[in-house]
Chains A and B, each alone.
Chain A
Amino acid sequence: MSETPFIVLSAILFTIGCVGVLTRRNAIVVFMCVELMLNASNLALITFARVHGNLDGQVAAFFVMVVAAAEVVVGLAIIMTIFRTRRSASVDDASLLKY
Chain B
Amino acid sequence: MIGFWLLAPVMVAAALGILFTRKAVHAALLLAVVMIGLAVMYALQDAPFLFAVQIIVYTGAILMLFLFVLMLVGVDASDSVVETIKGQRLMATVVGLLFGAVLVVGVAQVTVGAVTGLDEANAEGNVPALAQLLFSTYVFAFEATSALLITAAIGAMVLAHRERLTPKVGQAERAAQRMRDYVDHGKHLGPLPSPGVYARHNAVDTPALLPDGTAAETSVSRTLTARGTVRSAPALADDVTVLSRQIGHDGRRDGESGTTGNGRDREPGDQA
Contacts and interface: CB of A to CB of B under 8 A. Distances in A.
With a 10 A CB-CB cut-off, give which of A14, A18, A55, A84 has the most chain B CB atoms.
Answer: A55
B31 interface: yes
Interface in A16-68: 16-20, 22-26, 28-29, 31-33, 35-36, 39, 42-43, 46-56, 58-59, 61-63, 65-68
Contacts of A19: 19, 92-93, 95-96
Given A2-B115, A12-B12, A74 B152 contact: yes
B116 interface: yes
A9 B12 contact: yes
Contacts of B44: 1
**Chain A interface extent, by class:** 35 or more
A29 B27 contact: yes
A65 B100 CA distance: 24
Contact of B62 (A69, A80, A88): A69
With a 10 A CB-CB cut-off, give which of B35, B100, B162 has the most chain A CB atoms.
Answer: B100
Nearest to A12: B12
B42 A11 contact: no
A79 B93 contact: no
A55 to B, nearest CB: 5
A15 B100 contact: yes
Interface string A71-99: 11110111111011000111010000000
Contacts of A55: 118, 121-122, 126, 129-130, 133
B152 A70 contact: yes
A51 B112 contact: yes
Contacts of B151: 70
- Chief secondary structure at chain A's binding surface: helix
Contacts of B49: 58
Given A8-B107, A58-B47, A62-B53, A23 B92 contact: yes
Interface stretch (B63-71, B216-224, B243-251): B63-71
Nearest to A7: B107
Nearest to A27: B73
Nearest to B5: A5
B107 A61 contact: no
Given A24-B79, A43-B41, A80 B70 contact: no
Contact of A79 (B28, B73, B130): B73
B53 to A, nearest CB: 6
B70 to A, nearest CB: 6
Nearest to B151: A70
Interface of B: 1, 4-5, 8, 11-12, 15-16, 18-19, 24, 27-28, 31, 34-35, 38, 41-42, 44-47, 49-50, 53-54, 57-58, 61-62, 65-66, 69-70, 72-74, 77-80, 84, 88-89, 92-93, 95-96, 99-100, 103-104, 107-108, 112, 115-118, 120-122, 126, 129-130, 133-134, 138, 141, 145, 148-149, 151-153, 155-156, 159-160, 162
> Which 9 pairs from chain A and chain B are nearest by CB?
A53-B116, A19-B96, A15-B100, A70-B152, A22-B92, A77-B159, A11-B103, A77-B156, A16-B15
5 contacts: A1-B44, A50-B117, A53-B120, A72-B66, A92-B84
